[in-house]
Amino acid sequence: MTHSDVTRAVGLTPTEIAGGDLTVISPIDGELIGQVEMRTAEEATSMIANGVRAYHAWRDVPAPRRGEFVRLLGNKLRECKEPLARLVSTECGKIFQEGLGEVQEMIDICDFAVGLSRQLYGLTMPSERPGHCMRELWQPMGVCGVITAFNFPVAVWAWNTCLALVAGNSVIWKPSEKTPLTALAVQKIFDEVAAEFAAAPEALAQVLIGDASAGSVLVESKDVPIISATGSTGMGRAVAPVVAARFGRCILELGGNNAMIVTPSADLDMTLRAIVFSAVGTAGQRCTSLRRVIVHEQVYATLIEKLKKAYASLKIGSPLDDNVLVGPLIGRAAFLQMESALATAEEEGGTVFGGERVLADEYPNGYYVQPAIVEMPDQTDIVRRETFAPILYAMKYSTFEAAVALQNDVPQGLSSCVFSTNVQETEYFLSQRGSDCGIANVNIGPSGAEIGGAFGGEKETGGGRESGSDAWKAYMRRQTVTVNYSEELPLAQGISFEV
């Protein structure tokens, strides 16, 4: 199947992906797959105005009806699952099985949001004043700006959009400039559903293709009360102060430097499988990718030997080929960053296994690499830095407390895990003295989170939460209500104020 076959399969016509000023390159082979039109700052401003009008209409639609719309969206995604997954793989380079999994995440969050639409619960609270009652309500907020990264080009949009929609908001999506075609395809799917749903106003969800200047319009606009931004820590540092200056709300999902602690009691076969998927899945380009493995000195040599054998057998190639486990990096810049990180690791005392470019003859414009294992004497500066590539740093530990301290001694705080059958160790890991990350797993890797839990992390990961649990509250405003049904006007705290 050619790249043009893939784009046609999701309903994108040649005129929609040709002649624009943004060039779209497939990381599979470095070939051109589209040229799309970027929006100007003025057009972005107009989109915001349209989004405000859509919000004013949508907020009056009962929440269960909003949920019905999301249910229909999920059904349409089920119909489009395979072609959309192929486009995901073609445009961002993840293997087809991961592309299918990403679209399934979209479907799953639709299902979650349908139930949520009948569970936007507030509270009732006792009042200290007679003849009074207190309530807590959750209200829609307005336009939700969603900024996404290339590595999950559709799922993160769905995490945010499905919750924002059932909450009563409209959405404007600024996708990565590396993956605009998936965004256009999803927008077409959305528009098809909206056209058949009478209560859906025009511009309920929009896609803003553009560069940083277009994204800045979203970030700076007081008419966009919520900005959900997924990307690098550097991007978060640029976005957060601007949103804070206008007292907007920021949901940040930024960098990860995720670790696994492997104890003497760990099942090493299960540990090995978890390491390989977590470290090389999406060619190490997940925010939850495993980047550090901290192994007890008793089992270190055995595990590292097994790990090197597993890495040597990895099938690397086109993500659309069956049996391939590792696709390409997103592009040349990512490859150069990986090369630089490995060189620095060697300078800081590391021993590198793998890491070289492969398949250059077959794909001269594609950047395929052998995933790297780097044995480090300790946690140096390069280990503390997130490199978005399949580099796994391996270190030894002697006491469990030291292992936890090593894990936490990085700026990022997204995901973490421990492999152990010792209940004292696992409970310590999950205690207030243990992992300082937003996600903490036992006997499962740091990657592959389910949509039912709130997703996000601490420290330089940004503190945001998306997807499940009560993450919906970030898309609504809390309102405390007091009703006086008496004929008196008592004041709180027993204050006497007679006129």
The catalytic residues are 253, 287
**d(Cα 209, Cα 181) in Å, to the nearest integer?**
10
SS3 of 342, please?
Answer: helix
CA dihedral 72, 75, 77, 83 (to 10 degrees): -140
Token output for 72: 């229909």
Cβ proximity of 359 and 369 under 8 Å: no
Ramachandran class of 290: left when φ > 0, alpha when ψ lies in -120 to 50, beta otherwise: beta
Cβ proximity of 140 and 55 under 8 Å: yes
Cβ proximity of 210 and 44 under 8 Å: yes
Q: Give φ, ψ of 481 to 5 degrees.
A: -120, 135
Give the CA radius of gyration of the chain.
Answer: 24
Residue 133 CB-density burial (10 A; 0-12 exposed, 13-18 middle, 19+ buried):
middle
**d(Cα 291, Cα 415) in Å, to the nearest integer?**
10
Q: How many CA atoms within 13 Å lie on the side-chain side of 114?
A: 13
**d(Cα 86, Cα 18) in Å, to the nearest integer?**
20
Q: What number of other Cβ atoms are within 10 A of residue 9's Cβ?
A: 16
SS3 content of the chain, % helix, strand, coil (to 5): 40, 20, 40
Q: What's 184's DSSP letter?
A: H
- List b or e across 32-62, with b for residues whose CB sees 16 or more CB atoms inside 10 angstroms: ebbebbbbeeebbbebbebbbebbeebbebe
Q: Give φ, ψ of 312 to 5 degrees.
A: -65, -25
Ramachandran class of 287: left when φ > 0, alpha when ψ lies in -120 to 50, beta otherwise: alpha
**d(Cα 27, Cα 11) in Å, to the nearest integer?**
21
Q: What number of other Cβ atoms are within 10 A of residue 427's Cβ?
A: 11
Cβ proximity of 455 and 468 under 8 Å: yes
